[in-house]
Structure 1
Amino acid sequence: MKQWAIRIFIFLLALLVLVTIGVYIFVKTTLNETSIALLEDKILKSYDPYITSYPLVTLEEGSLVKRDELQRFYLFTAEKNSFDDFMARSRESGAITDLKAIPGLLQINHDVSFKNLMSNDCVEIYCYQHYLPFEYIPSIFWKGLIGVEDQRYLDHFGVDLKSLFRAFVTNLKTMRYTQGGSTISQQLVKNLFFTNEKTFTRKLKEMVVSIYIETKFPKEKILEAYLNEVHWGALQGIKMKGVLSASLFYFGKKPADITPFEGAILIGLLKGPGYFHPLKKLERLQERADVVYKKLVQENFVPNDPSLIWKQADWDNWTARLKKLETARYHQSIWRTLNDQEPTLSEYEKFVLIQKVADVKSKINERFNDKFNTVDISVKVMLGPLSSDSWYSYYNRVERNKEKALSKERHQVGSTIKPIIYSVFEDLGRRMDEWVVTDPITLQLKSGPWTPREAHRNLPAQVTYTDALLKSLNRPVIRIASELGFPQVEEKLKPYFPELKTPLDQYPSELLGSMELSMSELRDVYANFIKTECGKIKNSERFMDQSVLQLLSDPNQTTVERAVDVVMQKLRFFGKTGTTNNGYDNWYVAFDGKNITLIWVGYEGERKTKSLGLYGATTAFDVFQNYYRDRGKRFQQFGCELVPN
C-alpha cells in the first residue's frame, strides 16, 4: 500500500508541476502577446496635455477669417479657455469685428495670436485621440464609469467574481454567450490587446492580463487608460478615441466644460456607440441617457437637479447641430490638417484650404449626387512663392499616392494656357488692342476639316484681342495663329511646352488646351512664363497695361466675374480658369505677385456621362477665392516687383 501511495503522490505532484508549468506558459505567452510597455509609457507619464509643439497661430492685421472655421479650429487647439471667452476678449479689445459685407466673416484689426492644435495620438487612419492624464479628466467621467459599468471597481483585483458568477448563470440559462461579467480593467485589456471574439480562451487571457495590470498600475491610472483608449463612435468620417475626442466631437467642448447630463450621454454611449448613435438611434440614446443619469444621481455622483435633464428641444437642437457639422466636416479637416506633414503652410492655413476643398465637394454633391458618383470628385492644389522651391501641395484622396497624382497623372489643361499663347502673339508683333473676327473658322487638316467650337453665343462680329482673352474665346486664337503662321507660333511655344504636338498646323487643338500636363508640369510652365513676362515688363520690352498678366488681374472682367465676391472684387491678382474635357477637368491658375496657385477639380471615376456640368469658375476658383480670403493672412496685391529676374 505504501508503494501505491507513493506512486499516487508522485503522480499528483507531477500533475501539479505540469499544470503549474502550463499555467505559467499560458500566462507568459498571453503577456507576451500584449504591449504592456506601450501602456506603461502612456499612463506613467505626467505632463500638461494642453501644450503643443506647433508655433503660435497668428491672424494678421488686415486679414479676414470665417467665424465657423475659426471656432472649429480653436476647439482643437491647446487653449484651455472657451472660444466664446476668446471672442469676447478679442471683441472687447477691438482686435476682431464682424465684416458687414459678408455675414459670418470676421475682420482682424490687429494681430491676434493663440496656441496651435493639440497633437493627434491615434495611429489609425481617420481617427482622432488626444491623451489626457487622470488629473485632467473631470470626475463625472470616471465616477460615472464606475457607477454604471463596474460598481465594485475599487474593491476587486481586476476580475469581479460575483459578476462572473452572475454572467455564468445567465449564459447557462440562455444556453448562449450573452454576458461577460467584465470589469473596467477587462474591458480596457480587450480594447487594447484583444478582439471582440466571444471565446473561453480569449476571456481567460483577458482575465490574466487584467489581474497583471491591476498589480502593476494604480486604479486611477487604469481608469485614465480606459477613458483615453475607448472608442466612442464616429462622426464626420472620423473615429473618436478617448474622452477628449468624444467631448470635442459630440458637444464642441473640452471635457472640463461638459455638463452633468452631457456626461451621462457620453457614458451612456460607451455601451454601444453604434447602437446608440445620436443621428441614427436617437430614441435609444435618450432612454439610455435617462437611465445613466438617474443611476448617477442615486450614487450621488451628480446633483439631483431636474433642470439639468435635457428636454426634447435640447435633443433636437443638438442633433440638428451634429447634422450640420456632418455636412460641413470641419473635424475631418482637422484630422487631415494634423495628418499633413508639409511644413510650408501654417496649420491654420492648411485647415482653411482643406476645408474649402471639402466645401466645394459638398456643393458638388448637393447638386450632382443623382447624376454621378460624387465620391470620385478629386481636388489637387499646388501653391508657393515664385522665388522658392518650397511648394505646398494637397490631394484630397489620402488613400492614393499624392506624389504620383501631382507629378505623373496628366489632365487636359484647357484655357489655362491662353495667356501664354496671347503673350506669344505679342512677341510676334500683335497688340492686345487689335481686333479679330469671331466668325467660325475651318482648317483643312490631313485628318479632315476641323472647326473649333465656341462655348459663347451671340458674339459680336469682332472683338479686341483683350476681350477675346478675357472671355476665353476659342476661334480668335486659331484665327490669329493661322494669320501669323503656325510654324512661328510653334517655335515660340516649344520652350514652354516641350511635348507640344507638331507640326502645330496639323494639331491646332493644342492651342485650345487639348494637351495634357500634370500639376507639377503646369506649375513649372507658369513659373517660367511669369518670370519671362515680368522680365519683359521690367526691361521695358512690354508695357504693363498691354501684358496679359495685367489684363487678367481684374476678376470683375474675366471668366470669374459672376463668381467673385464683394471682397475679392476689390483685389487684383492674375488668374485664369480652364474648363475642358466636358467638365471632367476644371482649373484655376493664379498669381498674386508672390505666390503661384494651381487648383484642379476633376473626376477620377468611370466616365459614364457625356458632360459633367462643372466649370473652373465655380469649382477651382471657388477654392482659390475662399482660401485666400479666409486664411487669416493679408492678401498680396498683384505686381512684378517681387518676381526675381
Structure 2
Amino acid sequence: MIKSRWFQYLFWTSFKIGLVLIAVIGLYAIYLDASLSRHFSNKRYQAPALVYADEVTLRNNHPMRLQGLVGILERVGYQRNSNTEQSGYYSVGKNNVMVHRRPFDFSDGPQMAQRVQINFHGDRIKSIKSWPSGRELESFRLEPELIGRISTLSKEDRLLVGLEVVPNLLIETLLKVEDRNFYHHQGVSPWSILRALAANLKAGRTVQGGSTLTQQLVKNLYLSRDQTLWRKFHEAMMSLVIDYRFDKNTILETYLNEVYFGQDGSNAIHGIGLASQFYFGKQVQELNPSEIALMVGMIKGPSYYDPRRYPERARSRRDTVLKVMFEQDLLGKDNYVAAVEQALDVKESRRLVEHPYPHYMDLVRREMKRIILPEDWQETGLKIFTHLQVDAQNAVQRSLAQQLMADGEDEKLEGAMVVADYRNGTISALAGGRLSQAIGYNRALLALRPIGSLMKPIIYAAAMQDSDIGLHTPVADEPITLSDKKGKEWKPQNYDKEFDGSLLLYDALVQSRNLPAVRVGMEVGIDQLVSYLRELGVTTPLQAYPSLTLGSASLSPVAVTRMYSALMNDGRYQPLAAVSSITTHQGEVLYRRQKSEADVVFDKNVSYLTRYGLRGVVAEGTASRLQRALAGQVVGGKTGTTNDYRDSWFVAVDGEHVVTVWLGRDDNQPVGLTGSSGALKVVADFYDYLPPLSMALDVPEPLQMQNFHPTTGQRIPEDCNNGRKLPAEEIRLPEDITCEGTIREKSWWERLFGG
C-alpha cells in the first residue's frame, strides 16, 4: 500500500515537473522563434565593402605593349599556361596573347567567361578576336584588381554569393562530408549524434562530430565554443527553430557565406566566395574538383589544414575528401585520379589585397561619406568600383619615393602626387607621402601649402577672359610697390632680381616672371581673382591681398589638380571623383556617378591660349629639362617655388592627364629645391615609366598663328625671324610695317608718286 502511494506520488510529481518543463521549453521556443527568426532574416552576418580599381578595357589600336598586358594579367591573378581552356589562364605567342577571362560581376552587370586572342603590332593592339570563332571584337574588358576593403566592426571579410553560382559539385561534396541527411532532418539529427557517440567511445577520443550544418551555422553565428550541456541544448533548440522557419536552401546559402576559412592579418575570411579568391585567386564557380575538395576539407579546421603552412596535412585531408567524392559517385575514376595527382596550387600570397593603396583608399572613404547609401549596407556588402589606374598608381608611388630618397639626406623631405583625367573628371592615382604603402598623413588631400608661381596661369587666363588681351600683349617687367588693405607696403621681386622692361604675356608666363604677373593680377583685381579661384573649386580660406598674385594662397595638391583640370578641359570646371559606382555583393546598383555638366569658368579660346602658354613653359621655359623624358610628345607644365625654397611644385598637363607634384617638409623648413630641380624630376620619372599622350594644340577658329614683335606685341610680317609666332584672333598687318614693328618711312619718290 505504501509502495503504491509512493509510486503514485512519484508519477504525478514527475508528470507535473514534465508539464512545467514542456511549458518552459515551449515558452523558450516561442521566445527563440520571435527573436531568432527576425535576426536571421535581416542580420545574419556583416559583409565588407570590397574596393576595386578601374576596369581595364582593351580596344583596337589602343596604345599598349604585349608585356604591359602580361603585367596586368599577372596582377589580377591569371596563370600562364599553354592550355587556356579553363578561365583564369593566359598564354603568350610571338605577337599575341590568348586570355580566358573569368566570369565577373562588373558594375553594369555580370559578364560570362570569355576567351579571346589579342594581337599586337608594335606598341599598339592590332585586333581582338573571340576564340575559337575568330569574330573580331571592338573591345574587351578584364575584371578590375581588388585594391582594398572597408571592413565591418566584426572584422569579418566575406563576399556574399548566391546558391545559384556555387558549383553543384561543391554543394554535393559538402553535404556528403558534413551532413548527408541535411534535406531530411529538422535541424538536429539524433542518429548522427548517436553514430558520432559510438565512434568516439570506440576510439577513446573525439573522432567524429554529430552536428548538422544547421547546428554548425548556429554555433558560428550566435554561440561560443564552450563544450557545455547548456550550450549544446541552446544550439539544438536554435537549430530546430531556424529549420522550422526557413527553407533548406536559405540555410545552406547562409552556411556557405558564413563558414570560417582562416585569417588575412587581423581580418577573418568567411564564406566560400571570398575563400576561393583568398586561396586560389578564383571565383567560386571556377573551382575544379581538387580545389573543391580542399575547400570542403578545410572546414574541419582551417588553421590545422592551412595549405600554405601545412601543405602535406592539407593535401592528405583533400585526398580524403576526394575519396568520399569518388565513393559517392560524384567523381569518375579518371577525374579522381587526376585530382589526387594535382598539386595544391594555392596562391603564395597570404593577403587578399596584395597591393594596398592606403592614400587612395583614404580618398575613397572620404568620398563615400558624401554618397547616400543604405544604413544597413553591411548586411548586403558593397562592391566599390573606382577610377584608380593601377599602372599610374604604381608609377606615382615609385617616382615619388625614388625622388624623395635621391634629394639629399633630408629624411624629413616629404611629398605628394596626384594624377587626374581632366576630361572625365576622375582621379587616376594619388600618393600622400614618402611611405605610400603606409596609412598616415595624406598630404595630397590635407597639406595646405602656398602654390607660388602655379598661380600665374590662372591670373593670365582671368585677364584674357575679362579683356581683349592675349598671349601677344606686351606686359611690363618693371619694379612696383603696392600696399595691402592695412597699408603695409609690398615690393615684389623677380627670381633673378632683374627687370626685362617689356615682354609679351606669353614670355612672361614661359619665363615665370613675377612682376608682370603682379601687374596683370592687380589689373584683374584681387577680389576677382578670389572669385575665379572659388569657381575653380578652391574651398579653403583665401586672403585677398596683393601677394595672392604670387601664389600666397595655400592649397592642397588635389585642389591644384582641380584648377589645372579646368584649364585643360576647355575652361570648364568639374569636381574630381574617385568612386565610379557602388553595388551590393549580389550586383544591385546603389550608386552610379553621373558626369554632371561642367561649369564654364573660362572661354574655350582662353583655355586654349593658356594651354599653349603651358606648352611653351616645357618647350622653352622654366620646365625645359622635362623635354628629355617626353620622347617627342607635346606636354605643358608649370613650375612653382615659394619663399626660401620651402615648397617645390610642378604641374604637368598632357593629352589626357594633369599630374601634380609637391615636395616640402611638414615643419615648413626650407628644402633647397625649386620647382624644376625637385618636383619636375618626379614627373620626368613618371613619364619615363608611363609615357604621356600628346596635347592636341590645333589652333581653333577664330584664332590663327601670327607673327608678333617680341617686346611691343606689334603684328609684323611672317618672314621676320625676330618675331614670336603665337595664336591670336586675326590682326591685320599694318602697311609698310617693318620687322622692328615700326612703319617704314616712305621715300620722296613713294611720297610723290605713291607705291
Alpha-carbon distance, 1:485 to partner: 8.0
- Contact kept, 8 Å, 1:277 with 1:285, in 2: the verdict is yes
Q: Which has the larger radius of gyration?
A: 2
Q: Could you say what secondary structure the match of 2:27 adopts?
A: helix
**Equivalent-residue separation in structure 1 for 2:166 and 2:8 (angstroms):** 60
Aligned partner of 2:550 in structure 1 is 511
Q: CA deviation at 1:23?
A: 1.5
Q: 1:411 to 1:444 in 2, by over 3 A?
A: closer
Superposed CA deviations along residues 470-529 of structure 1, whole A, max 9, x for unmatched, are: 5xx7xx4334346x487447546344247653542xx47x61455336956974787489
Partner of 1:30: 32
Match of 1:537 among 605, 609, 619: 605
**Relative contact order (C-alpha < 8 Å, sep 6+): which is higher?**
1
**Which residue of 2 is the match for residue 420 of structure 1?**
458
Counterpart of 1:561 in structure 2: which amino acid? L
Q: Which amino acid aligns with 2:295?
A: L
* Counterpart AA for 2:514: I
User: What CA distance in whole angstroms lies between the structure 2 residues aligned with 1:195 and 1:608?
Assistant: 54
Map of 2:138 onto structure 1: 111
Corresponding position of 1:363? 398
Aligned residue in 2 for 1:206 = 235
Q: How does 1:137-216 map to 2 (within 5 A)?
A: 137-150=166-179, 157-159=186-188, 160-162=192-194, 165=197, 182-194=211-223, 201-215=230-244
Work out the CA distance in 2 between the residues paired with 1:241 and 1:270.
11
Question: How far is 1:191 from its partner?
Answer: 3.3
Structure 1 residue 76 and structure 2 residue 72: aligned? no
Residues 436 and 465 in structure 1, CA contact (< 8 A), matched pair in contact too: no
Query: Shift of the alpha carbon at 1:360?
Result: 5.2
Using structure 1 for the length normalisation, give the TM-score: 0.61
Deviation at 1:628, TM superposition (A): 9.2
The 5 A counterparts of 1:313-332 are 315=345, 318-320=346-348, 326-327=354-355
**Which residue in the other structure is 2:284 paired with?**
255
Quote the Cα distance in structure 2 between the aligned partners of 1:14 and 1:425: 98
Amino acid in the other structure paired with 1:111: E
Mapped partners of 1:106, 1:235: distance in 2: 41
User: What residue number does 1:549 align with?
Assistant: 611
Which residue does 1:353 correspond to in 2?
Answer: 388
Q: Name the structure 2 match of 1:632.
A: none
Corresponding pairs, count: 557
Retained in 1: the 8 A contact 2:175–2:182? yes
TM-aligned CA deviation for residue 535 of structure 1: 3.0
Greater fraction of residues in helix: 1
**Which secondary structure does the structure 2 equivalent of 1:98 belong to?**
strand
Separation in structure 1 between the aligned mates of residue 316 and residue 695 of structure 2, nearest angstrom: 55
Partners in 1 of 2:521 and 2:445 — Cα distance? 30
How far apart, CA to CA, are the structure 1 residues paired with 2:492 and 2:229?
76
Mapping for residues 522-601 of structure 1, pairs under 5 Å: 523=562, 527=566, 530=571, 535=603, 537=605, 547-553=609-615, 557=619, 561=626, 570=633, 588=651
Name the structure 2 match of 1:480. Answer: 516
Structure 2 CA distance for partners of 1:243 and 1:421, relative to 1, 3 Å: same
CA drift of 1:25 comes to 2.9
Q: 1:106 Cα deviation (Å)?
A: 8.2
How far apart are residue 271 of structure 1 and its match?
A: 4.1
In structure 2, relative to structure 1, the CA distance for the partners of 1:549 and 1:100 (3 Å cut) is same
Distance 1:238 1:115, change over 3 A: farther
Q: Which moved more, 1:33-42 or 1:269-278?
A: 33-42
| Change in CA separation of 1:512 and 1:192 when aligned onto 2, cut-off 3 Å | same
Q: Could you tell me how far 1:114 is from its partner in structure 2?
A: 6.6
Aligned to 2:732: none
Cα distance in 2, alignment partners of residues 588 and 195 from structure 1 = 57
The aligned runs of 1:457-468 (5 Å cut-off) are none
Cα offset, 1:382, TM superposition: 6.9
2:254 corresponds to 1:229: no
Q: Please state how far the C-alpha of 1:19 moved relative to its aligned partner.
A: 1.4
- Partners of 1:394 and 1:268 lie apart in 2 by 42
Q: CA deviation at 1:22?
A: 1.9
- 1:385–1:356 distance in 2 versus 1, CA, 3 Å: same
Counterpart CA distance in 2 for 1:233 and 1:275 is 10
Distance 1:152 1:285, change over 3 A: farther
Contact 1:588/1:599 (8 A) holds in 2 = yes
Residue 380 of structure 1 and its aligned partner are, at CA, apart by 7.0
The answer to whether the 8 A contact 1:425-1:489 is kept is yes
Matches within 5 A, 1:626-637: 637=696
In 1, the alpha carbon distance for the partners of 2:234 and 2:450 equals 59
Once residues 257 and 275 of structure 2 are traced to their aligned partners in structure 1, the CA distance between those partners, rounded to angstroms, is 10
Q: CA deviation at 1:129?
A: 1.8
Shift of 1:284: 1.0
CA contact (8 A) 2:639 2:651 kept: yes
Letter in 2 for 1:137: V
Q: Which runs of 5 or more residues in structure 2 are unaligned?
A: 45-54, 77-100, 129-135, 373-381, 432-441, 497-501, 535-540, 573-599, 703-755
In structure 1, what is the Cα distance between the partners aligned to 2:103 and 2:396?
Answer: 24
Q: Percent identity?
A: 18
CA apart distance, 1:328:
7.0
Q: Take 2:272 and 2:556, find their aligned partners in 1: how far apart are those partners?
A: 47
Going from structure 1 to structure 2, the CA distance change for 1:587 and 1:99 (only over 3 Å counts) comes to farther
Check conservation: 1:436, 1:463, Cα contact below 8 A.
Answer: yes
CA contact (8 A) 1:63 1:107 kept: no
- The structure 1 residue matched to 2:532, chosen from 470, 490, 496, is 496
Equivalent residue of 1:552, what SS? helix
Counterpart residue number, 2:132:
none
Counterpart position of 2:275: 246
1:131 corresponds to which residue?
161
CA distance in 1 between partners of 2:248 and 2:357 (Å): 37
Query: Quick check: which one's strand share is greater?
Result: 2
Closer, same or farther: CA 115–588 of 1 in aligned 2, 3 Å: same
Q: What aligned pairs does 1:408-447 form with structure 2 within 5 A after superposition?
A: 410=448, 412-413=450-451, 415-423=453-461
Distance 1:64 1:424, change over 3 A: same
Verify the 8 A CA contact 1:127 1:239 in the aligned structure 2. Answer: yes
1-side partners of 2:36 and 2:626: how far apart?
Answer: 62
Contact kept, 8 Å, 1:415 with 1:513, in 2: the verdict is: no
Relative to structure 1, is the Cα distance of residues 408 and 21 closer, same or farther in structure 2, using a 3 angstrom cutoff? farther
CA distance in 1, matches of 2:61, 2:681: 26
The C-alpha deviation readout for 1:201-226, integer Å capped at 9, x for no partner, is 44433222223344555656544432
Cα 1:354–1:116, aligned 2, differ >3 Å: closer, same or farther?
closer
Q: CA deviation at 1:420?
A: 1.7
Bigger drift between 519-528 and 599-608 goes to: 599-608
Contact persistence 1:496–1:525 (CA under 8 A): no
CA distance in 1, matches of 2:195, 2:400: 50
Taking the aligned partners of 1:583 and 1:199, their CA distance within structure 2 comes to 67
Which deviations, in whole Å up to 9, do the C-alpha atoms of 1:169-214 show, x marking residues without a partner? Answer: 799989xxx9975332222223344455666544433222223344
Change (3 A) 1:192 1:19: same
User: Which of 293, 296, 300 is the aligned partner of 1:267?
Assistant: 296
